[in-house]
Chain A
Amino acid sequence: MKSFTYERVATPAAATAAFARAPGARFIAGGTNLLDLMKLEIETPAHLIDVSRLSLDKIEKTGDGGLRIGAMVRNTDLASDARVRKDYGLLSRALVAGASGQLRNKATTAGNLLQRTRCPYFYDTNQPCNKRRPGSGCAAIGGFNRIHAVVGASEACIATHPSDMAVAMRALDAVVETVDAAGKARAIPLATFYRAPGTTPHLETVLAPGELITAVTLPKPVGGTHIYHKVRDRASYAFALISVGAIVQKDGSGRVALGGVGYQPWRVEAAEAELPRGAKAAADGLLAGAKTTHENAYKLPLVERTLAGVLAEARG
């Protein structure tokens, strides 16, 4: 690991001011992904700004009957919150489907959104990777890529976003709240938070350098049956090959977001109109334009069949 200087800050304003003094610094909260990447020297910040003690660790009701989840709320605490379990069950389900108990105790809401891909070529510093070293190429294309993206990928990168939590948040119409170095706050729908890889896969979100996530808000509960079905190589503690997060209403309408298929949680609102017609119609819409590799074509039927199982479970 490269050496770095360290400071702890007490307020979001102090955090963004610290970044302004040390451009290239990284905010650290749970650290479960960042430190791993620093050990491998994939991330090499010269300065760490410890934001883990910011008082952004509360879950509060919003004026319109929704929830505001502080950026520092731990994954365990979010999954356990009584309001989340009752009204946003999909979120609770997605959270406990991810990582391990130890990691969920440390990992934060904001950090979960910003965690980086688990593409093995991103992790292997001996291999080309446009995300890790822009312009070096992509070893995953043509390599071992059964876990890689089938939608939204580019000639430069076929990595997937690894988060389960983000899949639920996308289906729940979450909005990311941030503050920048000038103290300016903004609200970014999760739907527009991640950037498609295109020719710049190293740029993963629309956040500006030094912009700090302060909270994620959820609109008021939408009811329905909440199901998160994750398909993986092990029964526990493994990333998704694909996952289906769904909220299904009694009349058969609903929402679906997919994990493990693209650079962001994948939701196509237009395809949701097809849900009452069944999994095939909805999956066709969700995966329109899919481009598979020699190893991951299985993801297309897997999504459809998993969605069929989810819809059957929702019908009861």
Chain B
Amino acid sequence: MQTPEEFEVSRRGVIVGGAASVATATFVPAGSAVAAPAPVPPPTAKVTFEVNGTPHALELDTRTSLLDALREHLKLTGTKKGCDHGQCGACTVIADGRRINSCLTLAVMHEGESITTIEGLGTPDKMHAMQDAFVVHDGYQCGYCTPGQICSAVAVLDEIAAGVPSHVTADLTAKPEVTHTELRERMSGNICRCGAYSNIIDAIVDVAGAKA
């Protein structure tokens, strides 16, 4: 059986854990006779980075992921939290020109970097070519994975242009090409539960063709 002490420890653990990404909240039940000891605030650190061209200076609980910094602190909710474990790709953003899983990186580690999210690629009035192509090719159904898919797709074309090989690149010493096979492999870190994969690949091929 659980002792009261154990319960206290586990309850505190839950509260601390749950407060990782937002301001620490203290909950004192109404009418409780004994005041709880003042909680120790979690360690924080300062970080400055640019998001979509706008500089930001933040002081964050060190545990804050880049994803939570974008969503909870900067209110840029275009970047989605799917699995929060780097498995689904919904949180993909572009940091200093590279696509990364924003859930698996600490915000405070991005000092001085330039982050691009879906909000920075285009706007409803002036969409990025990749956003346009996703609309034209119906590259989504529910749309939850779409911001990550689009950020990933934009970076994939840059990676191919830079000569980054993939698992399906036949000749490692040749320049990789934009093919359906290459794109399917390179986009495998972005899961779409609705299964819009074929249309997503069509959209990327369309943009690559227009670029070429």
**Chain A positions near chain B (C-beta within 8 angstroms):** 1-6, 8, 28, 31-32, 35-36, 39, 48, 50, 52, 76, 79-80, 85-86, 89, 92-93, 96-97, 99-103, 105-106, 234-237
Contact = CB atoms under 8 A, between A and B. Distances in A.
Interface string B147-180: 0000010011001001111110100110000000
B172 A100 contact: no
B85 A36 contact: yes
Nearest to B112: A53
Query: Which of B17, B42, B106, B169 has the most C-beta atoms of chain A within 10 angstroms of its own C-beta?
Result: B106
Contacts of A99: 189
A112 to B, nearest CB: 14
Nearest to B189: A100
B62 A6 contact: yes
B129 interface: no
Counting chain B CB atoms within 10 Å of each CB, which of A89, A96, A102, A234 scores highest?
A102
Contacts of B156: 101
Interface residues of B, number: 45
21 contacts: A2-B16, A3-B20, A3-B61, A4-B62, A31-B106, A36-B86, A48-B106, A50-B109, A52-B109, A76-B159, A80-B165, A85-B173, A93-B167, A96-B169, A100-B89, A100-B189, A101-B155, A101-B188, A103-B189, A106-B101, A237-B188
Contacts of A32: 86, 101, 104-105
A3 B86 CA distance: 21
A101 B85 contact: no
B108 interface: yes
B95 to A, nearest CB: 8
Contact of A3 (B42, B165, B185): B42
The 5 closest A-B pairs by CB, nearest first: A100-B189, A236-B188, A3-B42, A237-B188, A85-B172
B63 interface: yes
Interface string B7-33: 000000000110010000000000000
Contacts of B99: 101-102, 105
A179 to B, nearest CB: 22
A66 B77 CA distance: 47
> What secondary structure prevails in chain A residues at the interface with B?
mixed
B65 interface: yes
Interface string B133-146: 00000000000000
A6 B45 contact: yes
A28 B185 CA distance: 28
Contact of A101 (B20, B106, B189): B189
Interface centre among A2, A35, A48, A97 (most CB of B within 10 A): A35
Contacts of B155: 101
Nearest to B171: A85
Contacts of B45: 6
